[in-house]
Structures are given as structure tokens and as C-alpha cells.
Amino acid sequence: MIIDVVHHPDCMLHDPPFEVTNGRVQQYGESGAAGGDADNADAETLLLAVHDADFIQFLKTIYVEWTRVGQSGPAIAETFAHPGMLLGTDDKKQDPKLHVRGKLGLYNFDLSVAYTQDTYRSAFAAAQVSIAAAKRIVENGQKAVYALCRPPGHHAACNVAGGYCFINNAAVATKYLVNVSPSPSNVLILDLDFHHGNGTQNIFYDDPSVFYVSLHAHPGYYPYFTGSPEEIGTGPGAGLTMNVSLDPKTTDDASYLETLADVLRSPKLASFHPKYIVVSLGVDTWHMDPAGGMQIINKSTYNSIGKTIAQYAQDIPVLFVQEGGLCIDVLGELVSRVLCGFITSNQ
């Protein structure tokens, strides 16, 4: 078995000189060192199936607007639209007099997202990569494909960016997989990033065709306000969100693998019958990751993660979409180990 890797060189263009995190100005953490054939005419349509049109327009134009008012360097929000201080958010988005700094505060929820002249080009390329990878599964009948997306996506919601994420690549691919057949197909999203995928949960919280499962550090860890086991979905999507809280101080190799296996054996998941699986593959669970880190100290654990996914999937196609991981010196190896574990389990 071979897993295709889909990528695009434009994903490397987004490279801001700095970010503001933990109260400090520091080197941009989500490095281009992490990373084609992703030319999709319908990519824009799929983006708009996930994200609001005004948000996509913001992503396209924010840096040009930033420079027009005499600003230089990356565009970063300084004031945020807190819900307790707002009256008529939609009206403010339509206000032609709203200053560019105000727009940044409306469409971003933290300071990790910095905009340069190439940010949208990179983010759009990453979304194209995820679509192209999903198409290989559907059109070519491939068992598994890896989408090497950068910037990552799982913190981006319908109308807001954050956590280094601008367009939700996994969500865009999932929308394609749900709607590729005449009747909606069930899709399981398995999010293994250290941080909760608040954007992905937000997008599919009421969707009856998508089961979102996340194993992440909680409580007390970024993004802080989501990821509780009590968040289970709403309306038609009630019961189709499963948040598994992990204590990174005590979650080691064995306990992580045990938890993952238990989740995939859960009765709720057994009754869902997904046609496709999308894995939001963050490897920032590695103990040395500067922005994450469980007590996972054995690289072979990532092989076992891949094997566990393969044993659950059986004949269900799997799309791996790259999310987090800032330990650049081992990032590629850890991802490769997950994919190799998946492959060897299918031989």
C-alpha cells in the first residue's frame, strides 16, 4: 500500500516575521519549514460552503487595506470584538468607515494570526491541497491520502481566524466528501492535535452528517473556552461531537493509545457508520513540542497511532490533513511514523 502526499509550494509563502503570544513579541512559531498538484476550479465554491463570504473577502483584502493606511509589517489585531461590548456585529462588518484595525478585531480571535501579502495565497493553496487529496480518494478509489497543508486550519471557524489558522482545510475537504454523492455521506473527523479544534467543532456542531471527535489537552489549555466533554452538538447534530479531555502532565504513551482505542470502540461511534474518515493530524502531542506536549516520549507511539486508525477504518478511506506541530526537527518523522503505521497495518 502507498499513501499519496499532496502539497503545493504556495503553502510556504505565508511567513510573517513575528507573532504576539504569551504577552511577548517572538518569532512566528508556525514555520514554513513544515512543508503539487492542487488546482481545483471549484475550490472557491467549497470555501464558501464552509466560511462566510465576507470572511473570505476579508482574508483576500486585509493586507492591501493595511498598507493603504500607511501600515508596514504584518497586519495583526490589537482590539477584539468582545461579545459583551457589541451591538450589531453584522452592521459593523458592513460599515465602510470601519478602520482596518477594527476589521482585524472582528475577524480574528487571537494574536497568532499575522497577515502578509502572501497569507491568502498560502491559505487558499492549503485548502486546494485538502480538496485535491479528498478527490483522489473519491475519484481514484485510494485507501488513504495525506494532505500536507500549511497554514493549518482546525482553529478557523465560519467567520473568524485564529491559532495560526485562516481557512479550515479539514472542514473544506469534509464538505466535499459529505456532498460528493447525490445523498449526504457520513464523515468522521478525528482530531488528534494537542489543542481542541474549536473552529472545526463550530462549523459542524449542528451537522447530522459529520461526527467530530477530538482528543486534546483540557481544561486550562489553548483555546481555553471550548473542548469540554459537555459539548456534544446541537439540533440535528446533537450527540455527534465527542470531546475527550486529556491531562498533558499525566498522559503518557500507553494511556494516550489506550484512550484513542477506547474512543474508536465507543458505541456512539459504532452506530454512525462513516463513509469517509478525515484525520486532523497534529503531532504537537510530542513531549518536546514548544506549544503543546503530552508525556509522549517514544516515537514508535506515532506508528501505533497510525495502526490504531487503520484497525478502526478497515475498508473506510482515510484522509490525513496536517494540523499542528512546532517541533520542526522531528515533525516530519512523527507524521511519517503515523502514515507508516497505517500502511503496515494494511499489508
- Pair type for strands 4-6 and 144-147: parallel
What single-letter amino acid sits at 215? Answer: L
Helix, strand, coil percentages, rounded to 5, for the chain:
40, 15, 45
Contacts of 92 (CB under 8 A, 6+ apart): 81, 86, 98, 102, 106
Cis peptide bond upstream of 182, omega within 30: no
CB-based contact 181:139 (threshold 8 Å)? no
Is 155 known to be catalytic?
yes
Handedness of CA 230, 234, 240, 243 (dihedral sign): negative
CB-based contact 123:14 (threshold 8 Å)? yes
What single-letter amino acid sits at 92? Answer: K
- C-alpha separations of 224 from 218, 228, 283 in Å: 8, 10, 19
Answer left, alpha or beta for residue 177, where phi above 0 means left and psi between -120 and 50 means alpha.
Answer: alpha
Residue 221 has a CB neighbour count (10 Å cut-off) of 18
Write phi, then psi, for 2 (nearest 5 degrees). -125, 140
Give the integer Cα–Cα distance in Å for 123 and 155: 13
Give the integer Cα–Cα distance in Å for 139 and 172: 17
Looking up cell 485507501 gives 143
Catalytic residue among 7, 8, 155, 216: 155
Looking up cell 463570504 gives 53
Q: DSSP state, 26? A: E
Residues recognised as catalytic: 155
